[in-house]
Chain A
Amino acid sequence: MNLLWAVGALLLSCWQASASTGPKIITDPPEVSNQTSAVLSCNLTESNLPIKGSHWVYNGKIIEDSKSTDASPSTVLRLEKITHSSGGKYECVFETEPEVKGTIEVKTLPHVGAYKHSEHGNEKDKGVMVCVSHGYPLPTDWTWFKEEDGTQKPFINGTTTKFEIKSTPNKTTLTINELSMEEDIGDYTCSGTNELGTSSDKIHLRVRSRLAALWPFLGIVAEVIILVTIIFIYEKRRKPDEINDGMKSNSNANHKDKNVRQRNSN
């Protein structure tokens, strides 16, 4: 009986020992969702490996300020203000042999912004509107709406040839063909959705008549023609004088004139 207890205790302690040779990192919190600030902490447990130091890595790049040569098994990273640009994967790395890492994902609402808030296009031409998104995780769904009579009318890709939506996780493009001044002027909204929620931005589309630029153009052409006419008339007035000049100098100083001519011939 006593022998059985002893064997059992020995086996138990062996099992415990083998279970605890794998170092474990306890991350707190395991995931950050939609918070304005957070304190990320990692605790290295069940490891008797010597710790030379620790640091944090954000999206593959080491955060310089977080490097520490403390041999402490716990490390903390403070995120004072979480915006869409600070979302991503944070890894705490303990410098042991081999390195031990733990990961905390910081998730935020997507930040959706339009390339240009005011777009324009020519009548019968095509109009292109683009929205991009930053943040983590990137939107999985994009939708476009048009504001009509106070409600948002969604666009569904593939129903008509007039609209075309091309979307990738970080960019979406709405192309409208054959712009018409009556139908297509207005506000358009792009909205991107990820697992936390939705964000959107507005673009105002203006459609210019094709002939709008024609009037300034014709004005400039008229100005050019007037200038050239004035210059030619002015010259015709001076010409009789200059012909007399040329004939005089021809007869008087022939060789001098030739040299002067050669200098002026360019």
Chain B
Amino acid sequence: MTKNKPKAEGQRDEAEGQDGGWGWVLVGALFVSTSLVFGLMRSLGIFFVEFVQYFEESAQAISWISSTGLAAQQFFSPLGAALCNAYDARVVVMTGGCLAGLGLILASQATCLVHLYLTMGVISGLGWGLVFTPMVATVMANFTRRRALALGLGFSSIGLSSFAFNPLFQLLVEVFAWRGALLILGGLSLNIVPCGALIRPKRRSKSPEKINSESKPRASILHRVSSHLELSLLFERPYITYTLAVTLLNVGYFVPYFHLVAHSRQAGFSEYQAAFVMSAAGATDILGRVASGWFSDLGHFRLLHLLSIWTTLAGVFIMLLPVSSLSGSYPALMVISLLYGFCSGALTSLVFAVVPMIVGVARVMGALGLLQLIESGAGLLGAPLSGFLKDVTGNYIASFMVAGSFLILGTLTMATLPHYFSCKDPPPPQRPSPEDKDKSLQSEVEPSVTERSVI
């Protein structure tokens, strides 16, 4: 009896898009791996104080470590996506986990700053890049109706883990010194490997290749590489528009994280008050991710419209931050920060969920990889730009205003997407395939998928 049940469920699950069951296990895996990638990245600040003291370098030189790590993660994302398309997502994620752990383990033996750039920056960054995009794409492929909620739950780990990791890392550094702490962190990062192991391996990886080799007998390596990387996406206007919008978003998105504490201190609040403002924003961030994921899946509005609303609100609140703090009132600053935290968390769970609507579920892996790569430039641009504005004007008002305006600019860019103002999602574009059979069947199946997600 028990043997027969899983069989039947397996068949039903496949037909319905697997909204449940093993999908939630994968959400758990996404939760853990995202916390070990981004939560860890965000809590590395604890080590910087130690590095500044030990290596006797400037804070700017030390901060390049985390910039390199983040840039490597985003730069290698298309590589991760391509490898998943070519081989198996499971192997890629497990390899990424090993690399991330290896980078941190090697970093614990570093004797000069360059070692840290290479290990914590490049190697771990490469590992993180091979982990994040494949995990997100896998979860998205396993959900249709509850996609945004699944992503929201998965990404809520970032806020929770940076909340938990900060005191944990401080404790590790105090007990084991930074070398020992980095070694233990390397071990913790290896926990990504079991998360990757939970991804079910591709079962019939042979058949699509057979089809490909039948129809394209002389497919060159370049052609295959470009199809794995989904480079054809770069020529499609909707995708380019959306990528541009997300890039603009990223320029302004990180500014409050870098500068809110310094700005609050400058406005006259004490260290604890400033730190508490950040913690409160982080708490509402977590709430925003889950709430927005749940609400979006109810289907009352198009995901794209909801994303535009959250982005605009977040931009407005960023602009209001300096206004509220300069008025001198702590409750005002607190309220605006809470609202900002909620909106920025809300938009995070939707940014990736919108991608399948634009490029179709089949190309999500490559689309996410390219998106991460292109938006990496924005992240590198945003913080130095706001720092430069602060140096020029003497306070943070200009930085926050510019950051908020970038978010609003991103929303306006999104408004130029085709069919933006219609109430229903348009059918997503299909992957050009040599077989007519597949084409006609795809157009049968895909619209029904999108109809369900709108309802």
A interface residue numbers (CB < 8 A to B): 115, 118, 120-122, 125-126, 128, 130, 208, 210, 212-214, 216-221, 223-224, 227-228, 231-232, 235, 238, 241-242, 244-246, 248-249, 255-266
Contact = CB atoms under 8 A, between A and B. Distances in A.
5 contacts: A220-B190, A221-B190, A232-B197, A261-B208, A264-B141
B43 interface: no
A220 B362 contact: no
B53 A213 contact: no
Interface stretch (B9-17, B323-331, B396-404): B9-17
Interface of A (DSSP majority class): helix
Contact of A266 (B17, B194, B365, B438): B365
Given A213-B184, A259-B442, A263-B445, 13 more contacts: A118-B174, A121-B177, A128-B54, A214-B183, A219-B187, A224-B193, A242-B10, A244-B7, A246-B203, A260-B14, A264-B18, A265-B85, A266-B141
Contacts of A242: 10, 203
Contact of A217 (B85, B184, B202, B203): B184
Interface of B: 3, 6-7, 10-11, 14-15, 17-18, 53-54, 84-85, 89, 108, 137-138, 140-142, 174-177, 179-181, 183-184, 186-188, 190-191, 193-194, 197-198, 200, 202-204, 207-208, 361-362, 364-365, 431, 437-438, 441-442, 445, 449
Given A128-B53, A212-B176, A213-B180, A263 B187 contact: no
A261 to B, nearest CB: 7
A220 B181 CA distance: 13
A223 B445 CA distance: 43
Contact of A263 (B89, B190, B202, B361): B361
A257 B193 CA distance: 30
B138 A266 contact: yes
B63 to A, nearest CB: 19
A212 B180 contact: yes
Given A242-B203, A263-B17, A266-B137, A231 B181 contact: no
A260 B186 contact: no
B194 A228 contact: yes
Given A213-B183, A255-B441, A220 B188 contact: yes
Contact of B193 (A208, A228, A244, A264): A228
B190 A238 contact: no
Contacts of B449: 263
B438 A245 contact: no
- Chain A CB within 10 Å, residue with most, of B3, B142, B184, B364: B184
A217 B186 contact: yes
Contact of A258 (B54, B138, B441): B441
A219 B190 CA distance: 12
Nearest to B181: A213
A159 to B, nearest CB: 22
Contact of A125 (B176, B179, B364): B179
B170 to A, nearest CB: 12
Given A212-B180, A249-B11, A266 B362 contact: yes
Contacts of A221: 187, 190
B204 A246 contact: yes
B187 A122 contact: no
Contacts of B140: 266
B206 to A, nearest CB: 12
A120 to B, nearest CB: 5
Nearest to A216: B184
A210 B177 CA distance: 9
A263 B438 CA distance: 12
Given A256-B15, A263-B361, A122 B179 contact: yes
A53 B190 CA distance: 71
Contact of B176 (A128, A208, A218, A259): A208
B198 A231 contact: yes
B142 A264 contact: yes
A265 B362 contact: yes
A231 B194 contact: yes
